[in-house]
Amino acid sequence: MIHASPPAQSAPATTVAVEVHDVTVAYQRKPVLWDVDVNIPAAKLTAIVGPNGAGKSTLLKAILGLVPLASGRVEIFGKPLRRARSLIGYVPQRETVDWDFPVSALDVVLMGRYGHLGWFARPKTSDRDLAMESLRKVAMVEFASRQISELSGGQQQRVFLARALAQQAELYFMDEPFAGVDAATEKAIVDVLRDLRAQGKTVVAVHHDLQTVPEYFDHVLLLNMRLVASGSIDECFTQANLQRTYGGRLTLLDEAAEAVRLGRVRR
Amino acid sequence: MDGFLRLITLQDSSTRTVLVGTVILGIAAAIVGTFAVLRRRALVGDAAAHAALPGTCVAFFVVGDRSFAGFMLGALLFALLAAAFVAFVKSATRVKEDAAIGLAIGGFFGFGIVLSRIIQRHPTGNKAGLDSFIFGKAASMIESDVRLIAIVAAIVVAVVLLLYKEFTLLCFDRDFAQSQGWPATALDLILMTLICGCTVIGLPAVGVVLVVSMLVLPPVAARFWSDRLSTVVILSAIFGALAAFLGTAISATAPVPGIAGFSNSGWPTGPIITIVSASIFILSMLIAPRRGVLAAGLRAFLLRRRIGLQNLLRSVYEHLEPGGDLGRPWAIGAAGEHSAAAPRAHRAGLITTNQDGRFQLTHAGQQAASELVRVHRLWELFLIEQAAIAPDHVDRDADQIEHLLPAAVLAELEERLQQTGRMPIGPSVVPTSPHPTMGPP
């Protein structure tokens, strides 16, 4: 295993929400995540940060079991994924969905309750009430019966967030929740995040805007195919670490990956 | 015509069987088809239908000519094989879905034609087999066939209703479904099996080439009428039943040149059902109130006219504003380029012509114009203040947005401008325009 330099980590928090052990993910022969080993602390807001193509979304999907791991394993609150499903909420990227689908905002938020319902069961009144409450938390109650294609990008993002809130999870994964949203939505999302932290929930979010990382989050995970650094904002979100994450020239690891892909090196 | 009426009132016992069969089929296919279309798997149904040909041929070799159930089973097996083939090619190679479907259709159907040739030379082979397989031969459906079709259709619909929320979730957001722990691949497989099942029971009635239209046309037509999934599914079933009913009736009774009455040489059912279904679709596409083409065109036309009239009033106002008197007459050419709307403004009582032939605003026109300008300038202020747009660029932007704003948003806008101290005067007076307007000539 090649490390450009050992990943820097601050002292582990008292409880760990997600343990990522030596995870490698590869598409065909090109590695996307390489030997990522990190503990994400509970009851904190953690940002995953890195340049385009760094594998940030892939890391989320790998943790959630949506992409296969070439090697390594993941534990959530000390349990394997399949036993921790009910503890997880997920806000995927908006682009993954066809917004012309014939459902209303409330229908989408109700889908957050499906995990608790089990096979064949229909949502109950209590589920509907919870869904409406989630919409209220993101200031979207007036849009409950609106078809989702009539919503703006920011409103769609808030509906996705409400859906995750309806899952009533302990740990929330969010993939670029602030991407392309208006100022009002950004504020609404930040309020929800702070609310979640006050309740002791954990949030792990892929975030693209370096400016707002120290303002919105407590912890940061710097990723560029491999883990560059992880820890509290104060200790980790430094110029040196950012330079190592976003540095312009190809790192030793990237050159090696290229060589493998082109078949010049036998693995 | 007489025969047609007898038929649709179900008085003719021999056709009643056929009608029941195709209607049940139409309903099941439309319901499954709704999810097939939402999941973008509709064309895989086409591949499945074409793969059914070698399936029925193989069934013939195995169980002979007499077993309808045997044919259906063989067809289903090969249909599933084709669907699996498409999925495999997509996941294991770089071949895209449309090419993979083409591969399946060509490969399986070609193989099937070869097999059916062999069967036709076989002593017990059915000579008319290939034709009725391709075009459907609903007229030769007997009661036991219809019973089998009904059973399969009932199972298919029952499974869809049982797994309604699971399929909805799968079709809308597969990743999210998986993250909740739903077995997305298994659900996809079940849906695919249901599609293949519907395809296979549709073959005797409408034939291989057109059975996919029974899956696709009703849901797409239904989508024009509703934004709620449950309504779309129900409407789709209604459209499917209607197309099947009318299509079968027409194909049985419509005069074929040279041949009259209901007989085995009537029109083939498949194409007629498809034509009825397509007509329902075209009608829906045109006349549906919100998503239909005509309604959208009308809305766009009315909006353009409304904007034209409002632009006229605004440019008249800005022309008159420096002089302080909104009621004074002006020469029409001096007040801007939107005089195409002038006749309508006259009819609406906003403008009158005085004895000299010059136009002037009526009281109603003055009110309308100053209200319009107030809203417009509120937006301009907002865009400059909040969105940091240079003042000279503002007019164009404010123009478009203003015509699409609901009243509640306007009220909020005014409130915010008041709070930030940017609303220069009271609600009945017009704020000064932040960029130079055209003055008097």
ipTM of predicted assembly, 2 dp? 0.86
Q: What are the tens digits of pLDDT across the range B167-220?
A: 999 999 999 999 999 999 999 999 999 999 999 888 888 888 788 999 999 999
- Work out the minimum CA distance from B169 to partner chain A, whole angstroms: 7
- Per-residue confidence (pLDDT) for residue B427, from 0 to 100: 33
A115 touches chain B (CB under 8 A): yes
8 Å CB contact of A66 and B178: yes
- Listed in sequence order, the residues at least 6 apart from B186 whose beta carbon sits closer than 8 Å to its beta carbon are none
* The pairing of beta strand A30-41 with beta strand A202-206: unpaired
The number of beta carbons lying within 10 Å of the beta carbon of residue B262 is: 19
Strongest mean pLDDT among A26-30, B92-96, B145-149, B164-168 = B164-168
* The pairing of beta strand B359-361 with beta strand A16-27: unpaired
Q: Is the pTM of this model over 0.95?
A: no
Q: In Å, what is the CA distance from A260 to each residue of A227, A228, A256, A263, A267? A: 20, 22, 6, 5, 7
- Work out the minimum CA distance from A91 to partner chain B, whole angstroms: 8
Using DSSP's 3-state secondary structure scheme, residue A37 falls into strand
Instruction: Give dist(CA B327, CA A144) in Å, integer.
Output: 47
Instruction: Give the rounded percent of residues in chain B with a pLDDT score beyond 70.
Output: 78
Instruction: Give dist(CA B287, CA B295) in Å, integer.
Output: 7
Judged by average pLDDT, the poorest of A36-45, A168-177, B56-65, B188-197 is B56-65
- Which chain B residue is nearest to residue A62, measuring alpha carbons? B179
- Per-residue confidence (pLDDT) for residue A2, from 0 to 100: 40
B390 compared with A130, residue with greater pLDDT: A130
Contact B138, B269 (CB under 8 A): yes
Interface test with chain B among A57, A106, A114, by most B beta carbons within 10 Å: A114
B88 touches chain A (CB under 8 A): no
Contact B197, B153 (CB under 8 A): no
Using DSSP's 3-state secondary structure scheme, residue A21 falls into strand
The per-type count for chain A, helices as H runs and strands as E runs, is 10, 11
A184 touches chain B (CB under 8 A): no
- Work out the minimum CA distance from B166 to partner chain A, whole angstroms: 8
| A5 burial level (CB within 10 Å; 0-12, 13-18, 19+) | exposed
Q: What are the tens digits of pLDDT across the range B320-353?
A: 877 777 778 887 666 654 567 888 888 888 888 8
Kindly provide the b/e burial profile for residues B204-213, where b requires at least 16 CB atoms within 10 angstroms of the residue's own CB: bbbbbbbbbb
Mean pLDDT of chain A: 87
- Work out the minimum CA distance from B38 to partner chain A, whole angstroms: 8
Interface test with chain B among A103, A145, A160, by most B beta carbons within 10 Å: A103
8 Å CB contact of A115 and B180: yes
- Per-residue confidence (pLDDT) for residue B401, from 0 to 100: 57
- Partner residue opposite A102 with nearest CB, options B175, B178, B227: B227
The residues in B 152-171 lying below 8 A from A, measured between CB atoms, are 162-163, 165-166, 168-169, 171
8 Å CB contact of B165 and A163: no
Work out the pLDDT band at B369, boundaries 50, 70, 90.
confident
8 Å CB contact of A103 and B172: yes
8 Å CB contact of B166 and A123: no
Chain B residue numbers touching A96 (CB-CB < 8 A): 173, 175
Across-strand partners of A9?
Answer: A230
Instruction: Give dist(CA B96, CA A209) in Å, integer.
Output: 35
Instruction: Give dist(CA B187, CA B177) in Å, integer.
Output: 10
- Per-residue confidence (pLDDT) for residue B441, from 0 to 100: 46
8 Å CB contact of B173 and A97: yes
Q: What is the CA radius of gyration of chain A?
A: 19
A90 touches chain B (CB under 8 A): yes
Instruction: Give dist(CA B191, CA B208) in Å, integer.
Output: 20
- Work out the minimum CA distance from A177 to partner chain B, whole angstroms: 15
B175 touches chain A (CB under 8 A): yes
B102 compared with A252, residue with greater pLDDT: B102
Closest alpha carbon to B200 in B70, B19, B107: B70
- Work out the minimum CA distance from A151 to partner chain B, whole angstroms: 13
8 Å CB contact of B165 and A104: no
Sheet-wide strand order for A79-80: A30-41, A16-27, A71-76, A79-80
Instruction: Give the rounded percent of residues in chain B with a pLDDT score beyond 90.
Output: 37
- Per-residue confidence (pLDDT) for residue A27, from 0 to 100: 80
Q: What are the tens digits of pLDDT across the range A60-107?
A: 999 999 999 999 999 999 999 999 999 999 999 999 999 999 999 999
- Which chain A residue is nearest to residue B177, measuring alpha carbons? A115
- Listed in sequence order, the residues at least 6 apart from A56 whose beta carbon sits closer than 8 Å to its beta carbon are A48, A49, A50, A206, A223
Instruction: Give dist(CA B238, CA B244) in Å, integer.
Output: 10
Q: In Å, what is the CA distance from B313 to each residue of B321, B325, B354? A: 12, 15, 18
- Work out the minimum CA distance from B168 to partner chain A, whole angstroms: 9
Using DSSP's 3-state secondary structure scheme, residue B429 falls into coil
Residues A198-212 have a mean pLDDT of 93
Crossing angle for the helix pair B363-387 and B394-402, to the nearest 10 degrees: 120
